[in-house]
Chains A and B, each alone.
Chain A
């Protein structure tokens, strides 16, 4: 045992690096075989000996083998099997008597199991719900053998699809059966009265009448039946019952039951409902754009993690304060409360094997873990006040202790919003003209839009007409006639007075060569002189680029320039195939001379 734990020490120490030097690696056991979520972790001094234990509602590998485990230090103190999967674990003080050892409550299925001194103390069952009258009627008929199992099955199925009130467990189980098993099941169960019971989805604690650390607390349960129940800690009676529009999955409570309290329930429909004392129904609701994956109350702010990989901060009245984007999906969240420094922060376990600690939207610390963390818990463990307990997807247990000297400083990590966002832009003041224009736009908006549209259409029309005309008169440097697709591209080189004019002529057809083309230059003879103003083009092989060079002599001494038009003609036709306008540059050589 000693050898095993020491190897754990060594591996834990090797992982510590500069980034999480705030933490001491106390223990890491990748094979601890603990599979659970943050809601099923609780820390409490269960025996009243000053040594805080860890209570784990363990789902077992693959959710097969639920156990209640109590850990002391790095070792499991006790283990006891559970009848069904745990939904939540909480520790609370039941009564005022000394010694004030907290009781342990474990919600599982339709029951809350209460343990004192780690011995079973009480089992609270959720109240039964009225069964569906139609279903009741069917089973009554079955009892008197007036209905055969097959018809019963059909009828029950139709109820399941239509009815508002869901079926009982007995009927649901019946529907799952094979034909051969039905008869015996009906005979076995027909005399039983059908019961409908809901299950607990979440649980938290709420102080009863004192805000003290060691005051007695009520249990608050969320059920699959879209309800919230507050349970008295001594008599285990229902003190209050509330309805919400969806199934609660996370609960946060603040205040005291007898004075004023507030419940926040994150539900499966992506909405957070906030309820107060004396309100049977939600007072405020916060609609998220995605499903919630965690709910933590930090001071007066509700911090909600959503499936869109982001954390949101909301006030108790549902006003959104901030949003922080996470680098990966959020797996679990819990509260970090550092009492001696009066710091409250949110710990977020991410899918990229990081645990991030945020105070509001400021990142305080990042812990890298060897495996993805599925549950987090911070508090007094053993004799150490600031212990962080994490369990991993692979069933590992990581225990880290916050150094006594560690201080979380803001701004060490990345800051929530970039500094540019806070900078004030120098927006000019509104002028008289601006105001007049705005007024006019407001009044005559439709007319202005219509005029603009008319002009735009006219412009389109004119452009189209010009294009058609250019195509018809072959004014463009691209010929698109089916027989002779040609491309012309002209380049002028030189400073003057002599320029070199290169015409690049290309036959863009795939196979057909072009023969019998002529090139003709049209220019002002007072300004330019060309050796040949008219020549024949050789055979154009498809795809090749033919550079046709000619020299242009500028005659003007005044530094004027003009346009030379290039026409590509076909022998025996009057209309040019192609045309291009070449803007000649000013002759710089002459100007210098």
Chain B
């Protein structure tokens, strides 16, 4: 049976992880390679690296980092945050990333989804969308959630699928950072209407939240950052818990 995936997300700036981590036995908490290896050992099913560097030299630093990550770990990983063109995607994928995640760049130029998909196949294209419920409508926001758009969340998900996205990374801004659980309703709606895997993101605070999102929606994966980085929920413990709750997960 296909397992539900647990995916830690690491924020990167200038080749370093930026959010705090408190693994006691990690010497350099800012070293993404060391942290990535630690997650692999713990049984993470995939990793997402989100580059938030804001300099012109961005691509070069990112490609160097991707090269290092690819030689250090043996599970799939996605790189996002710096992919604005097919050329960016090529640089990162040829350096060893399995998938690229695109967000604002796809909103600005939806053809980018098709271009990357045609070049590498749809399994390489993750469409990341930040959505927010205002007055009962789920709308898409761009630029890391700063700028509202007219896009309806469900329609955008369907368009992304039609244009060649192979997976959707769905982050609810209403839930992100709250630790009150994933956005069940919108995750359920989108995972029901599209025919590609959906990664639920935003709001994980307890192990029961993971169980809930997998029981109540068709999401194939759940992503979180701080609860893993700060060791609040160790991945092996989460996997064991989900297994006892009859959620199919990969246990080492």
| Binding partners A and B | no
Q: Which residues of B contact A (CB under 8 A)?
A: none
